[in-house]
Amino acid sequence: MLNYALLVHAAPYSHQAALSALRFAETVVAGGHRLKTVFFYHDGVHNASALMAPPQDEVHLADGWKRLHDEHGAELLVCVAAGLRRGLLDAGEANRHGSASHSVEPPFELTGVGQLVDAMLTNDRLITFAP
């Protein structure tokens, strides 16, 4: 059994890479491996938006990531700097910046790039999905 980490650079619904990352993650756990960490970076932070509302006949990417967390314990880490630049805040950051609302909710976590380095060092494989 291998431990995997994924690095997702692609925004949902704007490039195939975001859906490919989710499908790869599902295949990893179906194959008996462990998906420990998914790190969303650059435009990939949009995968964590609680405001996402795709049509019913499309894959709901945020729900897919949440399901992987709930069923397999995968960490869903969102780069705080990239998220803030793109208007993605959790309740704590919204409060800190005086914003009336937030768009990132658990199990997604805003965190620093140090967590990505940790994922690189503590997993057997790091797979990157980028446009």
Peptide bond just before 107 cis, omega within 30 deg: yes
Is 89 known to be catalytic?
Answer: no
**Two tokens, residue 101:** 């609302």
* DSSP string across 86-114: TT---HHHHHHTT-S---B-TTEEEE-TH
CA distances in angstroms from 40 to 35, 80, 100, listed in the order given: 14, 10, 24
Angle between helices 16-30 and 61-72 (to 10 degrees): 20
Catalytic residue among 79, 80, 82, 104: 79
Distance CA 70, CA 62 (A): 12
Which active-site residues does the annotation give?
79
